[in-house]
Amino acid sequence: MESLKRIRIADLLHEWKSIGAGSTINLKGWVRTKRGNKKVAFIALNDGSIIHSIQIVVDLESFDEATLKLITTGSCISVNGVVVESPGQGQAVELQAREIEVYGTADAETYPLQKKGHTLEFLREIAHLRPRTNTFGAILRIRHAMSFAIHKYFNDNGFYYLHTPIITGSDAEGAGAMFRVTTLDDKKPPLTLKGEVDYTQDFFGKPTNLTVSGQLEGELGAMALSNIYTFGPTFRAENSNTPRHLAEFWMVEPEMAFHDIKDNMDLAEDFLKYLVNYALTNCKDDLDFLNNMYDKELIDRLKFVTENAFQRLDYTEAIDILKASGQTFEYPVNWGTDLQSEHERYLVEKHFMKPVILTNYPMSIKAFYMKQNDDGKTVRAMDVLFPRIGEIIGGSQREENLEKLTRRMNEMGIPENEMWWYIDTRKFGTAPHSGFGLGFERLILFITGMANIRDVIPFPRTPQNAEF
Ligand code: 4AD
Ligand code: MG
């Protein structure tokens, strides 16, 4: 076969006018379908560069039958052919095949994606192959675009990307149960005289875990570089089997010196609107597909978020609204209890009908590092609540006062001696500062309109599930 430079299908569809009808090019990809009659075969070829497949027209007379037989749904081929303007509607160009090489066959009897229209549940069981479907192609391309947009937003706004550790020796954040990291022999760990596992003999000389958040180290960065962000995997070992929880998820955590809670809210709102706008502008084909296939209101919902100011209110006001709502909730509403997803969604979807930023939560339900209000009861926490998602961002202004911080740590039983490095920032050049964490998969849930968080990460980690 003549060796020609391969063109991505995305590039062909965007640039076919300059490539020119009549030119001979090479395409490579996976066969979605093959149909036809006694004279011609029509192959839908997709290489994942774009949602659209391209039609390959094969004149049966010019090819030997044995090769053509190998070309079935799921097989991988390389095609040299001539670009022709497509007579059919829908697509501008197609490829008139001249030469075909089959890279890999896919047995029609056993290839799991033989037919269209599989359920999302079934596709989860074949997570190794689901990227080859239109739905997951779209989701994975959007995930990429959002990662890129996150870095672009922060870079353009003077933030530095700080790489915080994934293995951590502290579990003070209290954000969730942790996964232990150890190299000790699980059958015969070394024991202390008291008969407990002797972690001084472990790899790091102390117990270590996978991090639940990069925030505490992020604060160290902000106390030197002013504005930083982290963007990495985080881990929570809770047994929560919900459509919004993963055991391994990605979190984006900006941390800003000299920002108070209002600045923090302004940044969160601007950031989210930027990301949604970026998707609307740069992921149009994929969003159109998801809008048509899964959720006819998706694009309208995305636009709505970019066009309207988020509602800001105190936790205490939210409790009053929920109590006066006349709704029966599964979990009762009382000042001092954490809001459940049903409460958050009532506020967003029924009461305000737009995204909500709640602030000034009870101190007792929030982390030790949040800035204490003068009332002695509440802290300057902020949660951003989104339609269909509930909490998408959690953050706060941080307590910068050494005495108040350590008093709270003692009340909550957080050992000061293990956190000496964190406390040092309040001893040496402390400053008002704030930050938040955006759950990356919750963002992707919102942008794609998918209903289950297992469908917006390539290889989900949930209780009892780490197959792929
Ligand atoms: O509210 P969280 O627990 O906040 C923190 O971890 C802070 N340290 C963030 C900060 O201030 N820098 O988590 C932040 C966000 C949540 O709002 C949610 O979007 C997401 O992370 N999240 C999860 N996403 C998927 N699966 C889980 N199990 C999640 N837990 C939290
Ligand atoms: Mg939270």
Nearest CA to ligand 1 atom 7: 437
**Cα(387)–Cα(368) distance, integer angstroms:** 29
Average pLDDT over residues 42-53: 98
Which pLDDT score is estimated for 30? Answer: 98
Q: Check whether 173 has a pLDDT greater than 80.
A: no
Please identify, in words, the CATH class of the domain defined by 130-177+212-455.
Answer: alpha beta
Which pLDDT score is estimated for 171? Answer: 77
Q: Which two tokens stand for residue 224?
A: 């030197």
Residue range 231-281, pLDDT digits in tens = 999 999 998 899 999 999 999 999 999 999 999 999 999 999 999 999 999
Quickly state the pLDDT bin for 176 (edges 50, 70, 90).
confident
CB-ligand 1 contact for 227 (6 Å cutoff): no
Q: Which two tokens stand for residue 71?
A: 């070309």
Substitution site in 251, 267, 399, 446 for ligand 1 pocket (most atoms within 8 Å of beta carbon): 251
Q: Do 232 and 163 form a contact (C-beta atoms < 8 A)?
A: yes
**Cα(6)–Cα(27) distance, integer angstroms:** 6
User: In angstroms, what is the span from residue 385 Cα to ligand 1's centroid?
Assistant: 12
Q: Check whether 351 has a pLDDT greater than 90.
A: yes
CB-ligand 1 contact for 361 (6 Å cutoff): no
Which pLDDT score is estimated for 356? Answer: 98
Residues 6+ apart with CB under 8 A from 193: none
Q: Check whether 112 has a pLDDT greater than 80.
A: yes
Which pLDDT score is estimated for 464? Answer: 94
Residue with tokens 């881990």: 235
Which pLDDT score is estimated for 170? Answer: 84
Question: Nearest Cα to 220, choosing from 430, 438, 440?
Answer: 430
Q: How large a percentage of the chain has pLDDT more than 90?
A: 95
pLDDT, the chain, mean: 96
CB-ligand 1 contact for 253 (6 Å cutoff): yes
Which pLDDT score is estimated for 349? Answer: 94
Which pLDDT score is estimated for 446? Answer: 98
Ligand lying closest to the C-alpha of residue 384: 1
User: In angstroms, what is the span from residue 393 Cα to ligand 1's centroid?
Assistant: 7
Which pLDDT score is estimated for 172? Answer: 74
Q: Do 413 and 366 form a contact (C-beta atoms < 8 A)?
A: no
Residues of the chain with CATH 2.40.50.140: 9-104
Give the number of the atom of ligand 1 that is nearest the alpha carbon of residue 240. 28
Which pLDDT score is estimated for 34? Answer: 97
User: In angstroms, what is the span from residue 157 Cα to ligand 1's centroid?
Assistant: 23
Residues 6+ apart with CB under 8 A from 454: 124, 243, 246, 460, 462
CB-ligand 1 contact for 371 (6 Å cutoff): no
Average pLDDT over residues 130-136: 97
Nearest CA to ligand 1 atom 30: 245
Which pLDDT score is estimated for 368? Answer: 97
Residue range 116-129, pLDDT digits in tens = 889 999 999 999 99
Instruction: Please state the separation of Cα 451 from the chain's center in Å.
Output: 13
Residue range 80-104, pLDDT digits in tens = 999 999 887 778 999 999 999 999 9
Question: Nearest Cα to 341, choosing from 384, 389, 393?
Answer: 389
Q: Is the dihedral of CA 281, 286, 290, 291 positive or negative?
A: positive
User: In angstroms, what is the span from residue 182 Cα to ligand 2's centroid?
Assistant: 28
Residue 196 sits at the vertex; the CA angle it makes with 190 and 198, to the nearest 5 degrees, is 40
User: In angstroms, what is the span from residue 253 Cα to ligand 1's centroid?
Assistant: 9
CB-ligand 1 contact for 441 (6 Å cutoff): yes
Q: What is the largest CA-CA distance in the chain?
A: 85
Which pLDDT score is estimated for 222? Answer: 98
CB-ligand 1 contact for 444 (6 Å cutoff): no
Average pLDDT over residues 174-193: 92
Which pLDDT score is estimated for 454? Answer: 98
Residue range 9-29, pLDDT digits in tens = 999 999 999 999 999 999 999
Residue 432: Cβ within 10 Å count: 17
Q: Looking at beta carbons, which pairs linking 40-43 to residues 24 or more positions away fall under 8 Å? A: 41/68, 41/71, 43/71, 43/77, 43/97
Q: Which two tokens stand for residue 161?
A: 């990307």
Asked which of 77-91, 131-145, 333-347 is least confident by mean pLDDT, the reply is 77-91
Q: Check whether 418 has a pLDDT greater than 80.
A: yes
Which pLDDT score is estimated for 394? Answer: 98
Residue range 295-325, pLDDT digits in tens = 999 999 999 999 999 999 999 999 999 999 9
Residues of the chain with CATH 3.30.930.10: 130-177+212-455
Ligand lying closest to the C-alpha of residue 441: 1
Ligand lying closest to the C-alpha of residue 222: 1
Which pLDDT score is estimated for 76? Answer: 98
3-state SS class at 362: strand
**Cα(431)–Cα(259) distance, integer angstroms:** 9
Which pLDDT score is estimated for 223? Answer: 98
Substitution site in 143, 164, 210, 213 for ligand 1 pocket (most atoms within 8 Å of beta carbon): 213
Q: Check whether 145 has a pLDDT greater than 80.
A: yes
CB-ligand 1 contact for 437 (6 Å cutoff): yes
Task: Provide the β-strand partners of residue 210.
Answer: 167
User: In angstroms, what is the span from residue 446 Cα to ligand 1's centroid?
Assistant: 15
Nearest CA to ligand 1 atom 17: 393
CATH topology of domain 9-104: OB fold (Dihydrolipoamide Acetyltransferase, E2P) (2.40.50)
User: pTM value?
Assistant: 0.97
Nearest CA to ligand 1 atom 23: 439
Which pLDDT score is estimated for 87? Answer: 80
* Secondary structure E strands in 258-322: 311-314
Q: Is the dihedral of CA 413, 417, 422, 424 positive or negative?
A: positive
Q: Looking at beta carbons, which pairs linking 293-296 to residues 24 or more positions away fall under 8 Å? A: 293/134, 293/135, 294/135, 294/449, 294/450, 295/449
Which pLDDT score is estimated for 90? Answer: 78
User: In angstroms, what is the span from residue 312 Cα to ligand 1's centroid?
Assistant: 20
Quickly state the pLDDT bin for 364 (edges 50, 70, 90).
very high
